[in-house]
Amino acid sequence: MGKYVIMGIQGSGKGTQAKLLAADYDLVHISMGEVFRGHIRAGTRLGETIRELVAGGHLVPDSIVNQVLRTRLGEGDCQSGFVLDGYPRDLAQAAFLLDLVPLDAVINVVVPDAVVTARMQARRICADCGHDWNLQGRRPQRPGICDDCGGAVVAREDDNPVAIAARLADFHAQTAPVLEFFREHDLVVDVDGTQAPDHVQEEIRRGLGLPVA
Ligand SMILES: [Zn+2]
């Protein structure tokens, strides 16, 4: 079956799209963030190394990230296909991946910066119980008060305009060369991520040449 990478900025909805795609086509959704957390939870040797690096404020080097990826893709459930999410983050990782497996496509969920910014600014969290709320979607019944626990519903500290602009700039600087590399290999399928989630999914399936249910 298909071996895919999904790319898109935080707030683009790529995680949701990856899950929808994986569920219907017997693919494994591999979230690299989850894989890392799994290693740390399970206390594997890699997990210990990662935990120490992160605790010390260091980035996890490509050599370790690539090792984690190679291990994960080698597991049995991946042999029927996968949607890889959160990797590759740079050009070296992209090249490593293409050497490791023949990819079928790279799904690029495109959302303009202004739209992503608005989405991030609509996010809220309960200061007491940590429940996620959203002024554009699941908003609390009474403004500013958590339905679950009555706590104060507030914006996340890192969702202020300056921090969001910095994240967008970082994202574009990091991913531009990766996308360029995948385009040179004729792998990129661009989809309009501003549409409703089920329409985005339809466009992905058409772009990949998959039967649309
Ligand atoms: Zn709450």
Per residue in 133-143, pLDDT tens? Answer: 999 888 999 99
Domain-located, residue 96: yes
Domain-located, residue 202: yes
Q: Tell me, in angstroms, the distance from the centre of ligand 1 to residue 129's CA.
A: 4
User: Phi and psi at residue 208, in whole multiples of 5°?
Assistant: -90, -5
Q: Tell me, in angstroms, the distance from the centre of ligand 1 to residue 150's CA.
A: 6
Which residues are known catalytic residues?
14, 89, 123, 156, 167
Please tell me whether residue 134 adopts helix, strand or coil conformation: strand
Query: Which CATH number does the domain housing residue 177 bear?
Result: 3.40.50.300
For residue 187, the enclosing domain spans: 3-111+161-208
- Summarised one tens digit per residue, pLDDT across range 68-110 is 999 999 999 988 899 999 999 999 999 999 999 999 999 999 9
Helix H, strand E, coil C: the string for 80-102 is: HCEEEECCCCCHHHHHHHHHHCC
What pTM value is reported for the model?
0.87
Count how many Cα atoms sit within 13 Å of the Cα of residue 203 in the half-sphere of its side chain: 18
Q: Tell me, in angstroms, the distance from the centre of ligand 1 to residue 155's CA.
A: 13
What span, in angstroms and rounded, lies between the C-alpha atoms of 150 and 140?
10
